[in-house]
């Protein structure tokens, strides 16, 4: 009897030791393994519905949207399409500090992958849906530079059949001038003001539907599996994993979820909380002072195309707008946390491309300089040069293919 | 007889060694976790302080219990319910409740402004617009003004 109790005790202890050491696979504790799993692409939930866009999941709308996305006729000079800055073969960005359309913007182009999962769009979150976002650049004088009447005419001239299959009959635009819209250009603005409100609604409805079709295409653009994801899968299945990540990359990952505090903002399967933070990145001196989310939060509440607008298909409440934080000091120069997936493929970095390389970004986080305005949430990390190199090595493991971009480029070259 | 005694003492020695090893390994793992550098120096409360309640308010005027239809999850907009009772267990139906919170170790608040949107009766209230932008230790604070006066209750949540 005593022997049996003793052997039971020995077995229990052996089991405990086995658990403790097994949880240290590659040195990871079970809590850390849980955290790694939470960042794996396999944990990404199904694409949420977009109640503001009734054609969001209509494949005909996505096909129309894809063609509009690459169509340079959606611009004042016939040379700018969405794909001018969001280049599929460059992870849907353009590799330049400040985006260039018909003019030069004050912001860095954001990638499109995974954006359908973000409650707010743009660096300052001034839009609350993919379709509302797509409409912004179309009327910006430095991006596409055109007007909504011009775009409505273009769709009626070139896409009538496809448009009507998705959205129903086009309005009669025969009395609408070729260029008119609530834009900076005084001639187009005055032509817009001369239209009746019914005419303005007709034009705006077509304009909104252009955005909804483009959004139906964009929301299918997602991230592909990276080496990091393969490593997490191998950890879970007990397969050999040495060949997947190097020692330096694993050391970088350890810092990423540990002392470097990266997961404070870059968490979950997309490595972003989708929130807004001031990280003390200096504004470009040549640009007007940009207050980031402080301005963006106010702008989205009064946006012509937000979830509460007459152009939204949402029948339920708009909880993102209802519970939004506005007017707080913490929002001053706060910018959206970008995903870190494929981050190594899209230098330069930050809201106005302030940093040319990942090494410069990491150096910034390590030093944590004070913010120009507002208050930086960073604290110096005091990492050694070798640790910064390991972090960078880890960030490079987050790159993966972008499935839809390959198909889009293939179609273009056909 | 003698052989059996040796057997027993050997087993006892093995048990002792293994026990010491276990304690040592566990302590190493824990101290590693405790050594993690936290920006604000706020100390995470004991495990017994976490959870949805029942939880007494700071001055003992109320007892609040949270309820969530689904487990709380980072990065999602969620709705929770809270039941407020007085110290004697009577439901408080006419309370004014405001919501605050944040991550003490990171020095930031909630990313949204959640608020009570419905009084469901029998001391139960619905709180909408709740979001936590990362996993880890969160404080979820309710300022309750009711017939017994004003008081606050703080929940420690582990996401």
Residues A69 and A212 in one domain: yes
Residues A210 and A264 in one domain: no
Residues A67 and A145 in one domain: yes
Specify the residue for token string 């909408």: B128
Domain membership of residue B102 as a residue range: 47-158
Q: Tell whether A268 is covered by a domain.
A: yes
Give the DSSP H or E segment for B150: strand B149-158
Residues B10 and B84 in one domain: no
Residues B60 and B107 in one domain: yes
pLDDT at position A194: 98
pLDDT at position A18: 47
Average pLDDT taken over every residue of chain A: 92
Residues A72 and A188 in one domain: yes
Q: Tell whether B131 is covered by a domain.
A: yes
Residues A209 and A232 in one domain: no
CA distances A321 to A31, A306, A314, Å, are 35, 9, 13
Least confidently predicted of A270-284, A323-337, B5-19: B5-19
pLDDT band at B106 (very low <50, low <70, confident <90, very high): confident
Q: Mean per-residue pLDDT for A246-272?
A: 96
Number of domains in chain B: 2
Residues B12 and B78 in one domain: no
Interface of chain A toward chain B, CB-CB under 8 angstroms? 2-3, 6-7, 9-10, 13-14, 16-17, 20-21, 24, 29, 31, 35, 38, 119, 258-259, 261, 263-265, 267-268, 273-275, 319-320, 322-325, 330, 377, 379
Q: Tell whether B63 is covered by a domain.
A: yes
In this structure, the number of other CB atoms found within 10 A of the CB of residue A220 comes to 18
Is A212 in a helix, a strand, or coil?
helix
Residues B62 and B109 in one domain: yes
Q: Tell whether B42 is covered by a domain.
A: no
Give me the CATH number covering residue B148: 2.60.40.1940
Q: Does residue A58 surpass a pLDDT of 90? A: yes
Helices and strands in chain A, H and E counts: 16, 2
Residues A63 and A38 in one domain: no
Question: Do A10 and B15 make contact, defined as CB atoms within 8 angstroms?
Answer: yes
Q: Does residue B6 surpass a pLDDT of 60? A: no
Is A125 in a helix, a strand, or coil?
coil
Q: Tell whether A3 is covered by a domain.
A: no
Give the DSSP H or E segment for A202: helix A197-218
What's the pLDDT tens digit per position in A377-400?
999 999 999 999 999 999 999 999
Q: Mean per-residue pLDDT for A348-354?
A: 97
- B122 in Cβ contact with B130 (< 8 Å): no
Tell me which chain A residues have a C-beta less than 8 angstroms from the C-beta of B15. 6, 9-10, 13
Is A34 in a helix, a strand, or coil?
helix
Give me the CATH number covering residue A67: 1.10.760.10
**Joined tokens for residue A246:** 């190097």
Q: Is B114 exposed, middle or buried (0-12, 13-18, 19+ CB in 10 A)?
A: buried
Size of interface A-B (CB pairs under 8 A): 88
Q: Does residue B1 surpass a pLDDT of 50? A: no
Q: Tell whether A300 is covered by a domain.
A: no
Q: Does residue A91 surpass a pLDDT of 50? A: yes
Question: Do B133 and A274 make contact, defined as CB atoms within 8 angstroms?
Answer: yes
Q: Tell whether B2 is covered by a domain.
A: yes
Which of A298, A335, A312, A290 is closest to A130 using CA atoms?
A: A312
Q: Mean per-residue pLDDT for B20-26?
A: 48
HSE of A47, CA atoms in CB hemisphere, 13 A: 16
What's the pLDDT tens digit per position in A30-54?
999 999 999 999 999 999 999 999 9
Specify the residue for token string 């093995």: B14
Sheet holding B124-130, edge to edge: B55-56, B62-67, B78-86, B124-130, B115-121
Question: Do B133 and A275 make contact, defined as CB atoms within 8 angstroms?
Answer: yes
Q: Mean per-residue pLDDT for A86-113?
A: 95
Nearest chain A residue to B4, by CA = A3
Q: Does residue A85 surpass a pLDDT of 70? A: yes
Q: Tell whether B108 is covered by a domain.
A: yes
Average pLDDT taken over every residue of chain B: 84
pLDDT at position B18: 56
Q: Tell whether B76 is covered by a domain.
A: yes
Residues B25 and B73 in one domain: no
Residues A254 and A124 in one domain: no
Last residue of a domain, one of A218, A238, A264: A218
Residues B12 and B83 in one domain: no
Instruction: Please indicate, yes or no, whether the overall pTM of this predicted structure exceeds 0.90.
Output: no
Residues A145 and A254 in one domain: no
Residues B57 and B3 in one domain: no
> Measured between CB atoms, does B129 come within 8 Å of chain A?
yes
Interface test with A, best of B104, B111, B113, B138 (most A CBs within 10 A): B111
Query: How much of chain A, in percent, has pLDDT values that exceed 90?
Result: 87
Residues B26 and B63 in one domain: no
> Measured between CB atoms, does B135 come within 8 Å of chain A?
yes
Query: How much of chain A, in percent, has pLDDT values that exceed 70?
Result: 92
Residues B54 and B82 in one domain: yes
Q: Smallest CA–CA separation between B88 and chain A, in Å?
A: 34
Residues A162 and A280 in one domain: no
Last residue of a domain, one of A193, A218, A243: A218
Nearest chain B residue to A7, by CA = B11
**Joined tokens for residue A102:** 């018909």
Domain membership of residue A338 as a residue range: 25-47+224-292+332-400
Sheet holding B137-146, edge to edge: B108-109, B96-103, B137-146, B149-158
Tell me which chain A residues have a C-beta less than 8 angstroms from the C-beta of B12. 6
Q: Smallest CA–CA separation between B91 and chain A, in Å?
A: 27
Q: Tell whether A272 is covered by a domain.
A: yes
Number of domains in chain A: 2
Residues A30 and A134 in one domain: no
- Using CB atoms, pick whichever of A24, A267, A379 lies closest to residue B134: A267
CA A335 to chain centre: 12
Least confidently predicted of A63-67, A238-242, B17-21: B17-21
Q: Tell whether A125 is covered by a domain.
A: yes
pLDDT band at A26 (very low <50, low <70, confident <90, very high): confident
What's the pLDDT tens digit per position in B24-51?
444 433 333 333 334 577 899 999 999 9
Q: Mean per-residue pLDDT for A164-187?
A: 97
HSE of A110, CA atoms in CB hemisphere, 13 A: 26
pLDDT band at A22 (very low <50, low <70, confident <90, very high): very low
- A180 in Cβ contact with A149 (< 8 Å): yes
Q: Does residue A331 surpass a pLDDT of 70? A: yes
Q: Mean per-residue pLDDT for A232-255?
A: 91
- Look up the ipTM and state it: 0.85
**Joined tokens for residue A215:** 């959004």
pLDDT at position A399: 97
Residues B15 and B73 in one domain: no
Q: Tell whether A162 is covered by a domain.
A: yes
Report the distance separating Cα A405 and Cα A413, nearest Å. Answer: 12
Q: Tell whether A141 is covered by a domain.
A: yes
Residues B11 and B57 in one domain: no
**Joined tokens for residue B146:** 């009711």
Residues A283 and A343 in one domain: yes
What's the pLDDT tens digit per position in A256-268?
999 999 999 999 9
Residues A107 and A181 in one domain: yes
- A66 in Cβ contact with A217 (< 8 Å): yes
Residues B67 and B131 in one domain: yes
CA distances A192 to A179, A182, A195, A309, Å, are 8, 6, 5, 20
Q: Tell whether B69 is covered by a domain.
A: yes
**Joined tokens for residue A41:** 């692409």
Q: Tell whether A243 is covered by a domain.
A: yes
Last residue of a domain, one of A185, A201, A218: A218
């Amino acid at each position: 009897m005593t022997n049996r109790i003793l052997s039971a005790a020995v077995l229990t202890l052996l089991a405990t030791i086995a658990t403790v050491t097994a949880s240290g696979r590659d040195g990871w504790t079970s809590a850390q393994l849980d955290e790694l799993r939470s960042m794996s692409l396999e944990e990404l939930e199904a694409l949420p519905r977009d109640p503001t866009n009734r054609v969001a999941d209509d494949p005909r709308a996505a096909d129309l949207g894809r063609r509009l996305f690459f169509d340079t006729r959606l611009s004042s000079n016939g040379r700018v399409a969405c794909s001018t800055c969001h280049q599929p073969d460059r992870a849907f960005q353009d590799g330049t500090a400040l985006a260039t359309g018909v003019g030069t913007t004050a912001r860095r182009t954001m990638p499109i992958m995974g954006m359908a999962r973000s409650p707010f769009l743009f660096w300052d979150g001034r839009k609350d849906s993919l379709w509302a976002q797509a409409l912004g650049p179309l009327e910006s004088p430095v991006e596409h530079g055109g007007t909504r009447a011009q775009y409505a005419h273009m769709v009626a001239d070139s896409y009538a059949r496809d448009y009507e299959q998705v959205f129903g009959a086009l309005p009669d635009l025969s009395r609408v001038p070729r260029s008119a819209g609530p834009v900076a250009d005084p001639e187009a603005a005055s032509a817009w003001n001369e239209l009746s409100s019914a005419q303005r609604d007709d034009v705006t409805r077509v304009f909104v539907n252009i955005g909804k079709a483009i959004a139906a295409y964009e929301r299918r653009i997602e991230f592909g599996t990276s080496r990091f994801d393969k490593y997490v899968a191998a950890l879970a299945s007990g397969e050999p994993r040495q060949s997947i990540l190097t020692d330096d990359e694993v050391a970088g990952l350890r810092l990423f979820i540990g002392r470097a505090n990266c997961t404070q903002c870059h968490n979950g399967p997309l490595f972003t909380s989708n929130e807004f933070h001031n990280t003390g990145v200096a504004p470009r001196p040549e640009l007007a002072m940009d207050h980031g989310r402080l301005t963006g939060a106010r702008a989205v509440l009064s946006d012509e195309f937000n979830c509460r607008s007459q152009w939204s298909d949402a029948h339920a409440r708009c909880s993102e707008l209802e519970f939004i934080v506005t007017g707080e000091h913490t929002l001053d120069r706060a910018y959206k946390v970008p995903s870190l997936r494929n981050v190594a493929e899209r230098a330069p970095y930050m809201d106005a491309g302030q940093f040319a390389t990942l090494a410069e970004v990491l150096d910034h986080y390590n030093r944590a300089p004070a913010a120009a305005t507002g208050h930086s949430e960073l604290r110096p990390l005091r990492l050694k040069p070798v640790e910064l190199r390991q972090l960078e090595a880890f960030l490079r493991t987050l790159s993966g293919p972008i499935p839809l971009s390959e198909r889009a480029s293939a179609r273009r070259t056909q | 007889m003698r052989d059996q005694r040796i057997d027993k003492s050997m087993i006892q020695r093995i048990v002792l060694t293994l026990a010491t090893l276990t304690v040592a390994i566990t302590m190493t793992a824990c101290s590693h976790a405790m050594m993690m550098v936290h920006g604000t120096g706020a100390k995470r409360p004991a495990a017994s302080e976490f959870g949805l309640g029942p939880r007494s308010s700071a001055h003992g005027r109320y007892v609040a219990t949270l309820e969530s239809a689904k487990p709380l999850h980072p990065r999602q907009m969620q709705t929770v319910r809270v039941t407020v009772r007085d110290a004697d267990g009577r439901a408080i139906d006419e309370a004014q409740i405001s919501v605050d919170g944040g991550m003490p170790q990171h020095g930031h608040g909630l990313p949204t402004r959640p608020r009570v949107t419905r009084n469901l009766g029998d001391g139960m209230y619905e709180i909408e617009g709740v979001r936590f932008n990362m996993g880890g230790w969160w404080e979820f604070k309710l300022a309750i003004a009711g017939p017994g006066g004003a008081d606050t209750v703080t929940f420690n949540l582990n996401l």
